[in-house]
Amino acid sequence: MYKLIWHMAWNALGRRRGRSLLVTLMIGASLWGLLFMEGIYDGMTEQMIDNTVKSDSGNLSLFAQGYRLDPSLDRLLPDSLLNQQILRTNPLIKSRSIRFSHTGLLATAHAARQVQIQGVPLEEEIVHAGLSDKLAQGRLHFGSDGNGAILGHGLAGKLRVSIGQKIILSAQDRQQNINSLVLKVNGIIRSGNQPIDDKILYMDIEQCREFLGVSQGFSQLSLILHNPDNTALLQEQLLRELDDSAIEILRWDQLYPALLQGRQVMKTFNLICNLLVFCVAGLGVWGVMTVSVLERLREFGIMIAVGTSFQQIRAQVLLESTLLGLGGFILGAGSGVATLLWFVEHGLNLEVFQEGLQAFGMDTIIYAIIRPDYFTTALIAILLACTASVILPLRRLKQARPVTILNSQ
């Protein structure tokens, strides 16, 4: 019986090939557009988050209590913290890096700018923040004497400094003396995180401590996890194990709530787009199915007259609309995956809008991402739209009596 229904549904669609093709194409094209949009928009959002996590917040960051409100040199985490078992051997942690931060003034012979000094152990930071991928000019090296510096490209641009040039760093040390230090620009990085690119100066952590009159300690411990989904779990573990009256342990989304808000907005936006597009697509299927049912009233009348149940006819009509939907889904999902895979590999190059994208902390090449839920959401939406689209035509069919139908034609 099912085979017969399948056969009849397939033949009915085949008889109206142009119409069926147009509906399939409509669903396919709209799904392709939606998938492209979702993949690129999500890629954009995730890239911004990834840049921030790597260059600053990590998945989790540890600060001395009160440091974020009053980032003074007296509020540092002790070096001994690094020896804590939970931070040394925790299997959830992929990498960690300590940072010693302070603000100062960076000057050349012609210009001066406010700067965020970041003393780091370079080898650790390179791995942790993926600095090798972010290097725009020069090399990642503080020099044998430790007097090298790596600048954010925005800062380097504003000061018009190039590799090898000398710069003068001034800042107030812990004893409130104003100190100055000559550094050589060894590298320029482009992190994709605008505040970092516009203000950061990386220097050797030991040199930085000495310059600021601090013998030990650091401002921030940034942790990156193997699986970011475990961030809250690790935060809980750390809060249990460490003295939370002295240490603040914050997730990236607590440090950058706006980024999380952006991700949530993007999700809602995608969902609304899906709803709108598939509601309209449902109207298209409804139009086709209504005509398709109405112009076959005589055919259905004969079928009912020879003993076919209404349930079987309903199943056939439903199968026809589902086949149209599935055809469109296969077409759209196939072309969507192919397009997104290309953009996952090569990225969407928006270098022509470089300045504008950087103003929003975005990379100029946006790599798409593909999530399984794009397809499940779309499939559910398509099936719902196809099912909903046959409700009215079937009701009209049910209301018509076979004899009346046969006589009326």
Residue 17 CB neighbours (<10 A): 9
Taking the least distance from each CB to another protein, the nearer of 223 and 285 is 285
Concatenated DSSP letters for 61-119? Answer: EEEETTTTTS--TTS-B-GGGGG-HHHHS-TTEEEEEEEEEEEEEEE-SS-EEEEEEEE
Residue 236: CB minimum distance to another protein, A: 26
- On whether the CB atoms of residues 198 and 155 are closer than 8 A, the answer is yes
Residue 263: CB minimum distance to another protein, A: 11
Residue 158: CB minimum distance to another protein, A: 7
Taking the least distance from each CB to another protein, the nearer of 148 and 336 is 336
Q: Is the C-alpha dihedral spanning 257, 259, 262, 263 positive or negative?
A: negative
Taking the least distance from each CB to another protein, the nearer of 146 and 287 is 287
Taking the least distance from each CB to another protein, the nearer of 107 and 126 is 107
Chain contacts with another protein (rule: CB under 8 A): 18-19, 22-23, 25-26, 29-30, 33-34, 37, 41, 72, 103-107, 109-115, 158, 160, 170-172, 176, 178, 194-195, 257-258, 261-262, 273, 276-277, 280-281, 283-284, 287-288, 291, 350, 353-361
Residue 111: CB minimum distance to another protein, A: 5
φ, ψ of residue 89 to 5 degrees: the values are -120, 15
CA distance 11 to 19: 13
Residue 203: CB minimum distance to another protein, A: 15
CA distance 308 to 255: 66
Concatenated DSSP letters for 328-369? Answer: HHHHHHHHHHHHHHHHHHH-EE-GGGHHHHHHTT--SEEPP-
Distance of alpha carbon 310 from the chain centroid: 49
CA distance 137 to 156: 11
Taking the least distance from each CB to another protein, the nearer of 4 and 276 is 276
Residue 350: CB minimum distance to another protein, A: 7
Taking the least distance from each CB to another protein, the nearer of 247 and 362 is 362
